[in-house]
Amino acid sequence: MIKKFLGLAIATLVFCGLMATGATSAKNDAYDDSAELREAVDSKGVMKRLRKLDKIATENGGTRASGTPGYDASADYVAKKMEKAGYDVERQEFQFDLFSEDSPSEFSQVTPTATDYVDGQDFDTMEFSGSGDVTAELVAIDLVIPPGAEASSSSSGCEAGDFTGTGVTGKIALMQRGTCDFAVKADNAIAAGAVGAIVFNEGQEGREDLLLGTLAAPVRSVPVFGLPFALGEELADGETSGPTGVTVRMFAETSSENVATENVIATGTTGDENNIVMSGAHLDSVGEGPGINDNGSGSAGILETAIRISKLGIEPENRLRFAWWGAEESGLVGSTEYVAQLDEYEGAAIALYLNFDMIGSPNFGRFIYDGNGSAFGLEGPDGSDTIERVFQRFFSAEDLATGPSAFDGRSDYKPFIDVGIPSGGLFTGAEGVKTEAEAALYGGTAGEAFDPCYHADCDDISNVSKRSLDQMTDAVAHSVHTFAFDLKFVRETEAERMARAETQGSPRDRAGDAYVR
């Protein structure tokens, strides 16, 4: 999953979870119809796929990051399995900028209290941060402390005028997460003469932990770090605009290289080609580890589902397409490239997109993308609410509690929703810490991360929950099967679809950037 912070609306989550837990099992025709496929797609088969990906990583320096031999071998493995299963396989090549930290970053407070901070706990080097070793005073840039009641209520650093009169030239800009992309904040700070930039989390519930961000290519000219809210608030030292009286040191040594990688796209040979039901998962890991939960789990889940559909001889009414995305960890590059190259008719043929990014977290939750926006106010395109409801009804039939996950641009659904394609999917949690309320809903351990090995070298075959895989891959199989035969309340009529395509133009014309705030 791309380096971003995930916020969860806990009160809404508890409400939704209790509703699901207390509901009487709501069996329905779609649930019964998917039973054979769900039974065939089990954790044993998914673990077999994951062990292969883990072996590939072990044989290739411990990583499956795009642009490395480990990723190439992963793509070869998936493509071979899908070709054998009878799918038409396309390997879509593209170039991207591969970012690397060439030595460990350092961050410390020099005055008034000498303090060394811990990388990965107190601070994180943003992807495409620049290099440098700078010691300077922090300057607060239009901070909102205490934070507003709603997420994205801070516009800190989003306008060039935010820096006017702050005296930031030659100093380090201290900014807050909010309404614009991290890249905008960093670029505005650099243009104002800052020698370093720091963005701390916004501070609302779910936006408090360490901020993990990307700036997109190219590498910036100064170090750029993300912080948790509490440390950012402490370093602001009561100031919201102007010098803070706090001096810090930032050290980073980074680089990037333009390299080739690919997406693997596999399409079924039966079903209506004008109604494509598409499922995807990113295949790449981060450079630091093998990426078996993130996102071998989603990749293995859709691979096993696709293979079992073929082996069972299921002939869908709608055309199935499965995608394994490259360079997700570098800014959703593969999925963005795919959507951007679609013409208006190819884009209009995609009925919906299902995204599965991390479905085996060891301390898991059961999160469904908030398609109707009821929990986070970020609704997907028309039809996304129906996708959310299909997942909710499935878990209700299984007597399993669920909660919402925001459409915050963190994963490969973003390019699809940017061009109006209904989307949805599942997520079991990343670096966010499980609360007592969540532990009551899902089990596991409160006070610990959903995935303690998120973006780390310990994200290996031991870092997945078979129980989570069992539950979530059942939901994967059910959703794919359901939409393979029924697009009611998701799909426009063909006439409406083509009229929209002609009016809006191609996805290439409409695609937005792939980076969240």
The residues annotated with a catalytic role in the active site are 328
Question: 69: which residues sit within 8 A by CB, 6+ positions away?
Answer: 60, 61
- 447-466 as b/e, with b when 16 or more CB fall inside 10 Å? eebbbbbbbbeebbbebbbe
What is the CB neighbour count within 10 angstroms for residue 22?
Answer: 10
Those residues whose C-beta lies under 8 Å from the C-beta of residue 123, and which sit 6 or more positions away, are 105, 107, 117, 210, 225, 226, 227, 231
H helices, E strands: number in the chain: 16, 14
Angle between helices 384-397 and 466-485 (to 10 degrees): 130
Dihedral sign for Cα 340, 279, 44, 396, please.
positive
- Residue 245 CA, chain-centre distance (Å), reads 37
Q: What are phi and psi of 240, to 5 degrees?
A: -115, -15
In angstroms, rounded to a whole number, what is the distance separating the alpha carbons of residues 65 and 221? 25
Vertex 319: Cα angle to 315 and 320 (nearest 5): 90
Nearest CA-CA partner of 97 in 143, 65, 125, 72? 65
In sequence order, which residues have a C-beta less than 8 Å from that of residue 363 and are 6 or more positions away? 429, 434, 444, 445, 448, 449, 450, 451, 452, 465
441-450: long-range contacts at Cβ-Cβ below 8 A with a sequence spacing of 24 or more?
Answer: 441/13, 441/14, 441/17, 441/18, 441/21, 441/365, 441/401, 441/403, 442/17, 442/364, 442/365, 442/366, 442/401, 444/363, 444/364, 444/365, 445/363, 448/363, 449/363, 450/361, 450/362, 450/363, 450/364, 450/365
